[in-house]
């Protein structure tokens, strides 16, 4: 990862990592002061432990490197405040969800993540999430401040060609293998008896709450299949309509009495009952219980056989994969794009159809890894990353570009991004040096040591 993108990633990771609890034997003290902001010993220790846990290599003494990284973050936050830079709530929630998913992947499950942070900090899940939300807002604010500083950068084709021409042969970037994948999914039919059973259970829960027999939060912890909110008694946190399922939002914003429970709501995630906690302007905080009707083995087999039949028809040229995806696929995100998957997690500035293998959903990557270009897979089952439902799918490997040293003809966009990143980093470094000159900084004598800071201007004689 280039340095400029590392700066952005660090401030987001650091902000998240500071939700961790410092070791019990750490006696807190102010070790740096930047402007009117203090950096605490516990803050440094927390970031150090997080880096160790995540496997991030720290070049140098962590008690020199980490405080400087935090200090740089505070410079950006101070400037963002002066420039009135704000971050939308929807962006904060999206970032918290992203970082939560990263921790789930590292720890194995949402439940293990909740247990880990409870053990480390002795806070309720809702308190932990509130801290995460505040820290994510700071990280995104830093990112926006950086983007403002470098937003007008332009790079010409001539500059990219000159950069590539001047590169030593052993310094030419290596471009990892990338693929383009088309997908057709099919949601297995759910028997009406299963849906009726789910609704009956939700009606029973609603009656128990409305009659004063049981608290909604207790039932959510016991029965909700949205495990993230279930750990918080079903609480979703404050959300605006724009980031909620439309059906859920319509009911959530219509609720008036916090003691009552909504009617049953069907969303793309399943079936819910909802209880109002609080409204604040255009945001609402609710509790919910989610139940998902289960797909039977018979229905899975039928959907798999149907997709295998479609794959055979495509192989026999009865119709194309593009046409089948446009007409038959249940995946609305790719259906209008002939089934072509879009990489929303790419490091590139714009969304792309190219994926490195680790960027694909795991179930898809395992299938694609063994396929040839133009080949269509047999049907398989996967868990949708969007809504957690089990679906059946077939995929086609549209293109594969094997890992290679970059060439100006095939990898111009990647090379252009490298040149732009170099320009961005130059601007950021120049800004930090200038900001240092006009910012009050005090470092505890015990924390100066033999530190060789990246930016020596912290210590003013």
Tell me, yes or no, whether 102 and 141 share the same domain: yes
Provide the 8-state DSSP code for 459.
S
Provide the 8-state DSSP code for 320.
-
- We report the CATH number of the domain holding residue 235 as 3.10.50.40
Look at the chain and report how many structural domains it folds into.
3
CA dist 198 and 292 (Å) reads 7
- We report the CATH number of the domain holding residue 11 as 1.10.4030.10
Q: Give 217's contacts (C-beta < 8 A, 6+ positions apart).
A: 233, 234, 235, 287
Tell me, yes or no, whether 208 and 300 share the same domain: no
How far are the Cα atoms of 91, 318, 349, 375 from residue 321, in angstroms, in the given order?
Answer: 36, 10, 29, 11
Flag whether 165 is in a domain: no
Choosing from 275, 291, 307, the residue where a domain stops is 291
Flag whether 173 is in a domain: no
Tell me, yes or no, whether 36 and 145 share the same domain: yes
Dihedral over alpha carbons 90, 348, 361, 244 (to 10 degrees)? 10
- Among the listed residues 238, 303, 236, 297, the one whose alpha carbon sits nearest the alpha carbon of residue 269: 236
Tell me, yes or no, whether 315 and 185 share the same domain: yes
Flag whether 122 is in a domain: yes
Tell me, yes or no, whether 329 and 185 share the same domain: yes
CB atoms within 10 A of CB 30: 13
CA dist 201 and 286 (Å) reads 20
Please give the pLDDT value at position 248.
Answer: 94
The strand ranges marked E within 309-427 are 355-356, 380-383, 390-401, 404-405
Flag whether 159 is in a domain: no
Give residue for tokens 């999206």.
94
Residues of the chain with pLDDT under 70: 1-27, 53-54, 101-102, 104-110, 119-127, 345-351, 387, 461
Tell me, yes or no, whether 229 and 105 share the same domain: no
3-state secondary structure of 442: strand
Flag whether 170 is in a domain: no
Please give the pLDDT value at position 282.
Answer: 84
Tell me, yes or no, whether 332 and 343 share the same domain: yes
Tell me, yes or no, whether 340 and 377 share the same domain: yes
Q: Are strands 265-267 and 178-186 parallel, antiparallel or unpaired?
A: unpaired
Tell me, yes or no, whether 401 and 420 share the same domain: no
The domain containing residue 140 runs over which residues?
A: 3-154+416-458
- Among the listed residues 307, 207, 304, 311, the one whose alpha carbon sits nearest the alpha carbon of residue 260: 207
Flag whether 411 is in a domain: no
Question: For the residues of 76-93, what is the DSSP string, one character each?
Answer: HHHHHHHTT----HHHHH
- Among the listed residues 207, 212, 344, the one whose alpha carbon sits nearest the alpha carbon of residue 289: 207
Contacts 24+ apart (CB under 8 A), 337-343: 338/182, 339/182, 339/183, 339/184, 339/396, 340/180, 340/181, 340/182, 340/398, 341/180, 341/181, 341/182, 341/183
Flag whether 394 is in a domain: yes
Tell me, yes or no, whether 185 and 196 share the same domain: no
Tell me, yes or no, whether 286 and 420 share the same domain: no
Helices 62-82 and 3-17: crossing angle, nearest 10°? 90
Please give the pLDDT value at position 161.
Answer: 95
Please give the pLDDT value at position 333.
Answer: 83
Tell me, yes or no, whether 182 and 196 share the same domain: no
Provide the token pair at 457: 């201007």
Measured over the CA atoms of residue 210, residue 211, residue 216 and residue 222, the dihedral's sign is negative
CA dist 155 and 162 (Å) reads 11
Flag whether 69 is in a domain: yes
């Amino acid at each position: 990862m280039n340095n400029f993108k590392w700066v952005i990633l660090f401030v987001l990771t650091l902000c998240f990592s500071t939700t961790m609890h410092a070791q019990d034997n750490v006696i807190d003290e102010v070790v740096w002061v930047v402007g009117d902001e203090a950096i605490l010993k516990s803050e440094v220790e927390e970031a150090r432990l997080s880096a160790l846990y995540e496997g991030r290599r720290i070049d140098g003494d962590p008690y020199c490197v980490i405080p400087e990284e935090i200090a740089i973050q505070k410079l950006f936050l101070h400037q963002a405040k002066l420039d009135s830079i704000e971050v939308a709530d929807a962006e904060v929630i999206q970032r918290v969800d992203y970082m939560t998913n990263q921790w789930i992947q590292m720890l194995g499950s949402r439940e293990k993540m909740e247990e880990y942070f409870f053990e480390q900090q002795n806070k309720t899940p809702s308190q932990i999430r509130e801290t995460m939300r505040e820290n994510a807002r700071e990280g995104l604010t830093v990112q926006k401040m950086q983007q403002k500083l470098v937003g007008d950068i332009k790079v010409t084709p001539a500059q990219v060609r000159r950069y590539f021409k001047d590169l030593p042969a052993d310094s030419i970037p290596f471009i990892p293998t990338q693929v383009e994948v088309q997908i057709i999914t099919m949601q297995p039919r759910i028997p009406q008896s299963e849906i009726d059973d789910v609704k009956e259970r939700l009606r029973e829960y609603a009656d128990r709450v409305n009659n004063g027999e049981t608290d909604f939060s207790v039932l959510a912890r016991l029965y909700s299949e949205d495990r993230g909110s279930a750990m918080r008694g079903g609480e979703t946190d404050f959300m605006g309509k724009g980031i909620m399922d439309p059906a859920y939002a319509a009911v959530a914003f219509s609720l008036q009495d916090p003691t009552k429970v909504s009617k049953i709501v069907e969303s793309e995630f399943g079936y819910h009952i909802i209880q109002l906690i609080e409204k604040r302007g255009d945001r609402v905080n609710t509790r919910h219980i989610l139940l998902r009707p289960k797909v039977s083995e018979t229905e899975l087999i039928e959907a798999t056989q149907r997709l295998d039949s479609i794959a055979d028809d495509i192989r026999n040229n009865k119709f194309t994969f593009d046409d089948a995806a446009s007409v038959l696929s249940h995946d609305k995100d790719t259906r209008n794009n002939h089934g072509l998957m879009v990489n929303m997690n790419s490091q590139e500035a714009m969304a792309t159809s190219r994926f490195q293998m680790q960027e694909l959903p795991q179930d898809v990557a395992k299938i694609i890894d063994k396929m040839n270009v133009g080949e269509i897979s047999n049907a398989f089952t996967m868990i949708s990353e969007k809504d957690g439902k089990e679906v059946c799918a077939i995929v086609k490997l549209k293109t594969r570009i094997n890992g290679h040293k970059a060439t100006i003809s095939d990898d111009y966009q990647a090379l252009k991004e490298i040149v732009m990143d170099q320009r961005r980093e130059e601007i950021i470094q120049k800004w930090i040096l200038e900001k240092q000159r006009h910012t009050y900084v005090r470092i505890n004598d015990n924390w100066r040591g033999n530190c060789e800071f990246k930016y020596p201007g912290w210590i003013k004689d």
